[in-house]
Amino acid sequence: MKFVDNKESIVITATELKQNLGKYLDFVEQQNEVVITKNGKKICRLTPYITDIGQYFLMKEKALDYQYGGKKVSYEEFMEIYEKSDLRMEFINGEIYLLSSPNINHQRILGRLHLAFNEYFKDKKCEVFLAPFDVHFRKKDIKEPDVMQSDLLVACDVEGNINEKGKYMGTPSLVIEILSDSTRSKDMVEKLNTYMLSGVKEYWIIDQKQEQIILYTFKDFEIDMCKFSKKGDIAQSFIFDGLAIDVSGLFSNLSV
């Protein structure tokens, strides 16, 4: 059994599914998933499917691992689902990720970052935005974009990149993600890859558990520089001169 964004995922045989279909439908109804095998090979996946009229179950022809390029729905299908749903979700490499509510320490850290970033950018062209704020990240040589809600982002290209629905369609210069136990892998692997390939210039990872900030810069769609800033350090932006965060202050007085 494994967990994917707070969902349980179990692997069973096709025979077991036939014998206990009701049991596994109830399991999936609780926002979990079941991978079915035949002769030792994964052949399909039973997973919650959200539409405008409720929740259904979608059987896939092939069970694909959670990896780059493993599609579950298309970008168009995701947008249709998303626009008719009240749930917060992201679309990364063809996968839909439901977003849970952040904990209190996440909100404390985000509030401190927002205050510092707003102060720095108050008289500048760039604007600071907080989640939930959808961005369509268009990766180099990849047809379908990812749709993600960075915890905090800095956009310097807002003018000319607002569509008829009032949605931002540009590419942020800087993005920040605050790690949690359920998002650590996604933020440090999938999102890092998306930001790198979509033209983002700088990515900050806020690691609550290690009480550190990891700063990445990208150049020519590859990692250019990476720096770890721990308590006692000042995390300094590579691309915005003078934009800095006291790491000790950022993580001070948090709940255990």
Instruction: Based on the fold, state whether residues 63 and 129 are members of the same structural domain.
Output: no
- Asked if the structure places residue 255 within a domain, the reply is no
Give the pLDDT band of residue 69 (cuts 50, 70, 90): very low
Instruction: Based on the fold, state whether residues 122 and 184 are members of the same structural domain.
Output: yes
Ranked by mean pLDDT, the top range of 51-60, 71-80, 233-242 is 233-242
- Give 206 or 87, the one with higher predicted confidence: 206
Domain with 201 in it: 104-250
- Asked if the structure places residue 222 within a domain, the reply is yes
> How high is the pLDDT of residue 49?
61
> How high is the pLDDT of residue 256?
62
Task: Say whether pTM exceeds 0.75.
Answer: no
Instruction: Based on the fold, state whether residues 43 and 167 are members of the same structural domain.
Output: no
> How high is the pLDDT of residue 9?
75
Instruction: Based on the fold, state whether residues 88 and 113 are members of the same structural domain.
Output: no
- Cβ neighbors of 20 (< 8 A, separation 6 or more) are none
99 DSSP assignment: P
CATH of the domain at 176: 3.90.1570.10
Ranked by mean pLDDT, the top range of 45-49, 165-169, 237-241 is 237-241
Instruction: Based on the fold, state whether residues 79 and 193 are members of the same structural domain.
Output: no
> How high is the pLDDT of residue 32?
82
- Asked if the structure places residue 256 within a domain, the reply is no
Instruction: Based on the fold, state whether residues 83 and 177 are members of the same structural domain.
Output: no
Q: Among 23-32, 95-104, 118-127, 140-149, which stretch is predicted with the lowest mean pLDDT?
A: 23-32
**In the predicted structure, residue 5 carries a pLDDT above the cut 50:** no
The answer to whether 109 and 211 are in contact (CB under 8 A) is no
Instruction: Based on the fold, state whether residues 52 and 132 are members of the same structural domain.
Output: no
- Asked if the structure places residue 116 within a domain, the reply is yes
In terms of phi and psi (left: phi > 0; alpha: psi -120 to 50; beta: otherwise), the region of 253 is left
> How high is the pLDDT of residue 7?
57
Average pLDDT over residues 75-95: 87
Instruction: Based on the fold, state whether residues 85 and 108 are members of the same structural domain.
Output: no
Q: pLDDT tens-digit profile of 152-206?
A: 999 999 999 999 888 999 999 999 999 998 888 899 999 999 999 999 999 999 9
d(CA 191, CA 146): 9
Q: Among 35-49, 103-117, 171-185, which stretch is predicted with the lowest mean pLDDT?
A: 35-49
Answer with the one of 98, 115, 144 that is the final residue of a domain: 98
Average pLDDT over residues 218-244: 96
> How high is the pLDDT of residue 225?
95
The structure tokens listed for 80 are 């249709």
**Average per-residue pLDDT for the chain:** 85
Instruction: Based on the fold, state whether residues 111 and 238 are members of the same structural domain.
Output: yes
The 3-state secondary structure of 146-180 reads EEECCCEEEECCCCCCECCCCCECCCCCEEEEECC
Instruction: Based on the fold, state whether residues 88 and 108 are members of the same structural domain.
Output: no
Question: How many beta carbons lie within 10 A of that of residue 143, not counting itself?
Answer: 8
d(CA 45, CA 64): 8
